[in-house]
Amino acid sequence: MERASDNGRRAVIFAGGRLGPWALEELRPDDYLIGADSGADFLLVHGRVLDLAVGDFDSVPPDRLSRIRDAARETIAVDAVDKDWTDTELALREALDRGFADIRIAGGLGSRFDHSLANVHLLRQAKERGAQAVLADEYNEIRLCDGKCRLEADPRYPYVSLLPLTVIVTGVTLDGFRYPLHEATLQLGWSIGISNVLEAGTGSISLSDGLLLVIRSRD
């Protein structure tokens, strides 16, 4: 089986959470499209060619699954009971194994809070393997910062919140934000980092130690 590799391309995973037209609007012509479970059906319904369909497909009617198999360039189906990972994690692991360092996950947030939180934690797995993953829905973009990251101003997301993913995050310094921080310490369970605003064209977030969730949001 031929493996895709990251030649500057981005992998976009469509998971089985909340999806809509917004998830298709930012697709690039050369994106590698992965459909996880019902995310594959969403792509099929909207006329997109899947590079990879993966999951147990327990949320997809049998007749739709056969269409997905026919339409996708590759399909990996796993047993719904005898599996260790969620469908979204299976898709992420495939993207990482295929060498993608830029990964976007749409539909990873939804009504199941356990799945949503687990998908936020997947950002750490991507970071540990040298990739940058972004989890997105219609109102939020979530990424992980472990040293220094830059944000370009985006009028769609007026709020920027910082939440520790590790117990303590030290040396947090913000530049270009309405509420600056300098060598600050943030602790898990604190809400001090909620609802900042990026006022410069480009902002920077740096930290000395720990992992920091950077959440861009709109109401």
pLDDT at 196: 97
Neighbours of 197 (CB within 10 A): 13
Does 30 map to a domain? Answer: yes
Domain tally for the chain?
Answer: 2
Closest by CA to 123, choosing from 138, 110, 104, 107, is 104
Residue after which a domain boundary falls, among 108, 138, 168: 138
Which structural domain, as residue segments, surrounds residue 178? 145-217
Rg (CA), the chain: 18
Q: Are residues 43 and 95 in the same domain?
A: yes
The sign of the dihedral angle between the CA atoms of 80, 86, 88, 94 is negative
CB-count exposure of residue 52 (10 Å: 0-12, 13-18, 19+)? buried
pLDDT at 82: 66
Residue after which a domain boundary falls, among 121, 138, 155: 138
The tens digit of pLDDT for each residue in 96-116 reads 999 999 999 999 999 999 999
106 with 12: CB under 8 angstroms? yes
Q: Are residues 44 and 150 in the same domain?
A: no
User: What is the distance between the alpha carbons of residues 125 and 176, in angstroms, rounded to a whole number?
Assistant: 29
- Give, for 65, the enclosing helix (H) or strand (E): helix 62-71
Q: Are residues 55 and 149 in the same domain?
A: no
The tens digit of pLDDT for each residue in 2-61 reads 344 556 899 999 999 999 999 999 899 999 999 999 999 999 999 999 999 999 988 888
User: What is the distance between the alpha carbons of residues 49 and 38, in angstroms, rounded to a whole number?
Assistant: 15
Q: Are residues 196 and 164 in the same domain?
A: yes
Residue after which a domain boundary falls, among 74, 105, 138: 138
Percent of the chain whose predicted confidence (pLDDT) is above 70? 95
Q: What is the three-class DSSP state of 43?
A: helix
Dihedral angle over CA of 79, 124, 27, 20, nearest 10: 60
The tens digit of pLDDT for each residue in 82-92 reads 678 999 999 99
pLDDT at 2: 38
What count of residues does the chain have?
A: 219
pLDDT at 8: 81
pLDDT at 21: 95
User: Which residues, other chains included, contact 92 with Cβ-Cβ below 8 Å and sequence gap of 6+?
Assistant: 13, 103, 105, 122, 125, 126, 133
Does 5 map to a domain? Answer: no
CATH number, domain of 208, equals 2.60.120.320
Does 3 map to a domain? Answer: no
Q: Looking at 38-52, 71-85, 130-144, 201-215, which range is the least confident one?
A: 71-85
The arithmetic mean of pLDDT across residues 162-191, rounded, is 97
